Every structure is written in structure tokens, then in C-alpha cells.
């Protein structure tokens, strides 16, 4: 999670899911962002015309007017063992707006996932850059959180807001969400400003006892192309040695969230 967009949350979720499947695990990605980047990467559905959107989605599952079974909304991806629960694009936001005033609104996703929990070894949530009801639902359903950040001022500000939101969940709704670690994404080691913010992240990591998982993921076009097509690093037969090293960071993420 991170409350700034573009930090690399979808890439981190997708590649971590692929690493788990590589280990023989069954994984479900839950799309909690109306922008729908995970849905775009792993399915043929689009956010535009109605006929291009998922026939059943998380929006339909959470909507008290439809209450569609969770398993009906799950879509198999190209990779055996990796499924996704599409969010429903703008429909998800509309449903969230209607749920705000209802009892137990922040626990609807957790309840919905109980029906499919036994089908998967790991469930990963791709959250939006906001602390709205959808994100709080994901936080309530999760066992822990990974905060993804760039070594840039705006992204670090989003990291700070994420820490505050987790603290508020603990204080106001009695939800303790452990932070499994930080992931530093799109790092450019030759930029002076990024070196400075990387030092800040390391200091925050040491002060709060939150590990930085793996090595900083460098700014790399090949990784972006894989993410946009829903392809795992290990699925690319032409992956460079540099990509293999990047894959080790996602192994570290998987180890941290399953420890």
C-alpha cells in the first residue's frame, strides 16, 4: 500500500503473486483499486464500454442489492494457480459510496472472502492510493501490509500517510495490522535526491523496526512491460540477469508476508 499513486503497488502485488505460484502455491489477487490496473494486466477486461467490463466483480459481491457469490467473480489468469477478483472499475467506487453509512461497512470484504479462503494459500490485495472505505476493507481483511514507496518526496509522504492510517485503524477500530516491510521501487541510484530519500527510508526502517525487503528495485523498462502484461519475471525466457536479481526482492516480500 501507499497513499500516493504510481509507487509500484500493482507491480509488487503481481510479481509477488508469481513468485508464490512458482513455489506451488495457489494465489488470489483482489483488485481494490477502481482504476483497475491489476484487472487490466491479468484479464481482457477494460474500464470503458459496459460490454468490456467484468460480468461479475468485487463491486457485485459487496453490493447489498446484488450480493453475488464471491466465487462467481473470480477470474482465472493465464497462469495456473493464479486467480484474480476484478474490482469492477468505477462500479466499485459507486458501491463503496453506498456502503459508507451501513453497519460493518469496513468488514464486508473480509466476510466475502471467507467463502473462498480455503481455495487459496495466499490472498494479495492491490489497494488504491487513498485511505477510503475500499482500502480500509482491504486492511481489515489482511494479515499484514507491505508499504511500497519510491525514494522521492511525494512517495515518502504517501508512506507516512499509510503509517498514520494503520495507526488509526489500531486506535479507532481495534484492527492491528502488522507491517511486513517496505519495498523501495523504481530507484535511480545516480540521482542525488533519491539517495537522500533512500537514507530517510533506511532511518525510518531502523527507527520503527520495519525491514526494507530485498534490494531497492531499480527503474527498469523491462519490469514495467512485464507488469503491464501480467507476466512473471520467471515466465520470461529472455529475462536478463538484472531481472533475476529483481526477482529476489519479490521473493523477500513473499517470505515476509508469509512468515
CATH of segment(s) 9-257:
3.40.50.300
Helix (H) or strand (E) holding 184: strand 179-185
Residue identified by cell 453490493 is: 63
Q: Per-residue confidence at 2, pLDDT binned at 50, 70, 90?
A: low
Q: How far is CA 208 from CA 110, 160, 178, in A?
A: 28, 12, 12
Longest Cα–Cα distance in the chain: 53
CB 136 within 8 A of CB 106: yes
Q: Which pLDDT score is estimated for 145?
A: 97
Q: Which pLDDT score is estimated for 4?
A: 61
Query: Three-state SS string across 75-131, please?
Result: EECCCCCEEEECCCCHHHHHHHHHHCCCCCHHHHHHHHHCCCHHHCCEEEEEECCCC
Name the grid cell of 24.
Answer: 506451488
Return contacts of 151-154, CB within 8 angstroms, 24+ apart.
Answer: 151/184, 151/187, 151/188, 151/193, 151/194, 151/195, 151/197, 151/198, 151/201, 151/216, 152/193, 152/194, 152/197, 153/193, 153/197, 154/4
Q: Which pLDDT score is estimated for 168?
A: 93
Residue whose C-alpha is closest to residue 17's, from 146, 136, 113, 112: 146
Q: What is the pTM of this model?
A: 0.95
What is the spatial distance between Cα 231 and Cα 14, in angstroms, rounded to a whole number? Answer: 8
Q: How far apart are the first and last CA of the chain?
A: 19
Name the grid cell of 252.
Answer: 523477500
Residues 42-98 have pLDDT tens digits of 999 987 766 677 899 999 999 999 989 999 999 999 999 999 999 999 999 999 999
Amino acid at each position: 500500500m501507499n497513499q500516493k499513486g504510481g509507487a509500484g503497488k500493482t507491480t509488487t502485488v503481481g510479481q509477488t503473486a508469481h513468485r508464490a505460484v512458482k513455489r506451488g502455491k495457489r494465489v488470489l489477487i483482489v483488485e481494490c483499486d477502481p482504476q483497475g490496473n491489476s484487472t487490466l494486466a491479468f484479464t481482457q477486461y477494460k474500464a470503458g464500454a459496459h460490454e468490456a467490463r467484468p460480468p461479475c466483480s468485487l463491486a457485485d459481491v459487496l453490493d447489498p442489492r446484488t450480493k453475488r457469490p464471491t466465487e462467481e467473480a473470480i477470474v482465472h489468469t493465464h497462469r495456473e494457480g493464479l486467480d484474480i477478483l476484478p474490482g469492477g472499475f468505477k462500479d466499485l467506487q459507486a458501491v463503496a459510496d453506498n456502503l459508507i453509512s451501513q453497519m460493518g461497512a469496513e468488514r464486508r470484504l473480509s466476510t466475502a472472502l471467507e467463502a473462498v479462503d480455503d481455495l487459496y494459500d495466499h490472498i494479495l490485495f492491490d489497494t488504491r492510493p487513498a485511505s477510503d472505505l475500499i482500502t480500509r476493507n482491504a486492511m481489515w481483511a489482511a494479515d499484514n501490509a507491505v508499504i511500497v514507496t519510491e525514494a522521492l518526496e511525494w512517495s515518502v509522504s504517501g508512506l507516512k500517510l499509510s503509517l498514520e492510517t494503520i495507526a488509526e485503524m489500531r486506535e479507532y477500530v481495534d484492527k492491528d495490522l502488522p507491517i511486513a516491510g517496505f519495498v523501495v521501487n523504481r530507484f535511480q541510484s545516480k540521482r542525488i535526491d533519491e539517495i537522500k530519500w533512500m537514507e530517510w527510508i533506511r532511518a525510518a526502517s531502523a527507527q520503527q523496526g520495519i525491514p526494507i525487503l530485498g534490494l531497492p528495485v531499480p527503474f527498469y523498462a523491462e519490469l514495467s512491460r512485464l507488469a503491464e502484461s501480467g507476466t512473471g519475471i520467471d515466465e520470461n525466457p529472455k529475462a536478463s540477469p538484472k531481472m533475476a536479481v529483481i526477482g529476489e526482492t519479490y521473493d523477500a516480500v513473499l517470505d515476509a508476508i508469509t512468515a
